[in-house]
Amino acid sequence: MKIIPALIAAVLIAAPAAAAPPQSALGDAAEARALLMDSVGFASVQERGQTPALARFYRDWLVARGFAASDFAIDEMAGTAMLHFTWKAARPKAAPMALTGHLDVVEAKAADWVRDPFKASAADGYIFGRGVMDNKFDVAMMLATLAQLKANGFQPRRDIHLFLSGDEETDGVTSAAQAKQAKALGIEFMLNSDGGGGALDAAGKAFAYKLQASEKSYADFTLTITDPGGHSSTPGPSNAIARLGLVAARIAGHRWPAQVDEITRASLAAAGAARNDALGAAMRRFAEDPTDPAAIATLRANPGTIGQIGTTCVPTMITGGHAPNALPQRATLTVNCRIFPGTAIAAVQAELARIAEDPGVSFGTGIDWPVTPPSPLRSDVVDAVAAAVKTRGTTVQPTPGMDAGATDSVFWRALGIPSYGVSGLFIRAEDAFAHGLNERVPEAAIAPALKHWEVLLRRLAG
Ligand SMILES: [Zn+2]
């Protein structure tokens, strides 16, 4: 579930000029491009059953480039699959590190797309296809970088574990299982390809990079009102649909308390410093004083920043009634919450119950993901990411940030493994269509992304 980071997208401004993107020192962008295009051809949507085939394809691709088949494990579960590969250090000098990404993609209805979503196509400088950005781009770049490092004789000084989950976009069962494996293996830290990343301005110049060190949790609640119902010609004082409609309106209108932590304070201060308008001023004021009511109001009013200053909950689905001529016996509202780090899910449910102002509401829970604290900013990771970003010929410094969505990292952080979103993709906000129609990545993003992953691996495992 990625990105482009909402905060970065909210601060689109003109920025310092950057040099032309570098070619990968290792060369072969064409091979990485072919890998990316081939991987889009697997419709690795949960219900379509092609995720295991994609896992085998990636394994075979790496084995064909010299890695041992015995260092791969593919586990099929819950209709999907997860892949684990270990590049063992001959003589490890440090605890193991991990790279992560996900195999699965969000469903795409071919009829709504201009091109077949599950056959990659190239046009106008872009590659189109479902998952070509989220997350197959960075997965292909990581795999291609591993292969190219091996071809160049690279010897890791610590074990490098690659974990690709199979249901990050839906249930997170494989994500949770892999986090447990990683904990048992003593993984010291994890780099998640499905978080963070760079922003380009309208002219294609880099102006920001988010090092994702924190993310919100995710929870779905169902609120149900039941009623005896009856003949529609004899209405009484209670109507389940009308009552639930009022509940939905109260939840949609609720102002959740403003919250801040070290990560969001730093990212808002940096984003605010980069712009000269009312939104930028509000970011700076909030970073200084997170109780400033005017700053809070401005940030709440902007969809790009509301998620950065606290929990949000919105009604997303509603069902009710059973016949056009009967009083409804049941109405159900789904409420989706994005929960600020450190806030308990039970506290959010209690607040929803209070806001609902209807004691007849019964609560059910759907998917809920762990609530986790931000990862501590390790200087080795921060320095490596800064070096990777610098290869773009930009003066942009990575800024630690929080994603308002959630990725595999929440399961890892829940087990105490520091996790960082460090995508190698720089993209313009107007080119980012993850989860949406006509998902695309610029062809020009490939070579610098290979360089990005090469620098990260050489600095952290070389
Ligand atoms: Zn994703």
Residue 2 Cα to ligand 1 middle (Å): 5
27 pLDDT above the threshold of 80: no
Domains detected in the chain? 6-215+373-461 (3.40.630.10), 217-368 (3.30.70.360)
What does pLDDT average to over the chain?
91
Q: Which of 267-281, 311-325, 443-457 has the lowest mean pLDDT?
A: 267-281
Q: Which residue has the tokens 């309106």?
A: 249
For the cut 80, the answer to whether the pLDDT of residue 25 exceeds it is no
Give the type of residue at 440: R
How far, in Å, from the CA of 205 to the mean position of ligand 1? 24
Alpha carbon of 150 to ligand 1 centroid (Å) = 27
Distance 70 CA to ligand 1 centre (A): 28
433 CA from centroid of ligand 1 (Å): 12
pLDDT in tens, 292-304: 999 999 999 999 8
What are the pLDDT digits (tens) for 408-457? 999 999 999 999 999 999 998 888 776 677 899 999 999 999 999 999 99
**Residues in CB range of 201: below 8 A, 6 or more apart:** 12, 13, 14, 15, 207, 428
For residue 63, pLDDT beyond 70: yes
Query: CA–CA separation, 409 vs 138, rounded Å?
Result: 15
pLDDT single digits (tens) 327-376:
999 999 999 999 999 899 999 999 999 999 999 999 998 878 888 889 99
364 SS3 class: strand
Confidence of residue 13 (pLDDT cuts 50, 70, 90): very low
Pairwise CA distance, residues 272 & 177, whole Å? 39
- Is 10's pLDDT higher than 70? no
What residues have a C-beta under 5 A from ligand 1, the ion?
A: 1-2, 134-135, 194
Residue 308 pLDDT class (50, 70, 90 cuts)? very high
pLDDT band for 3, please (50, 70, 90 cuts).
Answer: very low
Mean pLDDT of 171-200: 96
Residue 134 CA, ligand 1 centroid: distance in Å:
5
Q: What is the mean pLDDT of residues 172-200?
A: 96
Q: What percent of the chain has pLDDT over 70?
A: 94
The whole-angstrom separation of Cα 251 and Cα 415 is: 32
Closest CA to 300 of 349, 253, 359, 358: 253
- Tokens 């949790």 belong to which residue? 217
DSSP helix/strand/coil, 128: strand
Confidence (pLDDT) at 274 = 82
163: confidence class by pLDDT, cuts 50, 70, 90: very high
383-388: list long-range contacts, CB under 8 Å, 24+ apart: 383/459, 384/455, 384/456, 384/459, 384/460, 385/209, 385/211, 385/420, 385/422, 385/456, 387/455, 387/459, 388/422, 388/424, 388/451, 388/452, 388/453, 388/455, 388/456
Cβ atoms 54, 164 nearer than 8 A: no
Residue 129 CA to ligand 1 center (angstroms) comes to 14
156 within 8 A of 454, measured Cβ to Cβ = no
CA of 131 to the centre of ligand 1 (A): 8
Q: For residue range 69-127, what is the model confidence (pLDDT) as tens digits?
A: 999 999 998 789 999 999 999 999 999 999 999 999 998 888 888 899 999 999 999 99
Tell me, in angstroms, the distance from the centre of ligand 1 to residue 102's CA.
7
Q: Which residues are within 8 A (CB) of 309 and not within 5 positions of it... i.e. 6 or more apart? A: 258, 259, 260, 264, 268, 286, 290, 296, 299, 300
Helix or strand holding residue 273 (H, E): helix 262-273
- In this predicted structure, the answer to whether residue 319 has a pLDDT above a threshold of 60 is yes
Could you read off the pLDDT of 108-122 as tens digits, one per residue?
Answer: 888 888 899 999 999
Which pLDDT does position 430 carry in this prediction? 80
